[in-house]
Copies of this chain bind each other. A is one copy, B any other.
């Protein structure tokens, strides 16, 4: 089970991708995503214009490329099929600067949307059994799952923007409680 294919990536490629990603993150924190131009990125990363386009088609693709640790956070929300907010908030805490660039007010919300969708799917899976098969019930489940995911993301963003005032445990438990209360109640 361990013998994964070792794909060797040219060191030059690794180097440029890393430089571009880091440049983007720092520029987002400085100016906000919308205001960052590709020109800015390649200047900061010290990379030629054509080199950028060799690897990416756009700013957005660079952002979504996933050569960052936050994706780990997203996958960590589910442990043995159970939602684990403790894991989620924990991983965010370990990548504070990155999380701020990706989720904060200056982020442009692209990653936040991405995260939100992942969380919505997991919430839907977890609470789906409480809802009937009818069209109305299923639609309500969708609305509630998406809305709850939006609530979770908002919690995350507040926390990150607030320099993580609360502890990981406090956040995780408050978040867990709130999500539960929404679905416990809607069960009726």
Contacts and interface: CB of A to CB of B under 8 A. Distances in A.
B155 A147 contact: yes
Interface string A124-149: 00000000000010011011101111
A172 to B, nearest CB: 13
Please tell me how many copies of the chain the complex holds: 2
A96 interface: no
A162 B139 contact: yes
Contact of A142 (B136, B143, B158, B177): B158
Contact of A182 (B136, B144, B158, B178): B178
A151 interface: yes
A137 to B, nearest CB: 12
5 contacts: A139-B162, A143-B158, A146-B154, A177-B186, A185-B185
- Closest CB pairs A-B (n = 5): A181-B185, A147-B154, A150-B154, A147-B151, A143-B158
Given A146-B154, A146-B158, A181-B185, 13 more contacts: A109-B109, A140-B174, A142-B158, A144-B178, A147-B154, A147-B158, A148-B151, A150-B150, A150-B154, A174-B186, A177-B185, A177-B186, A182-B182
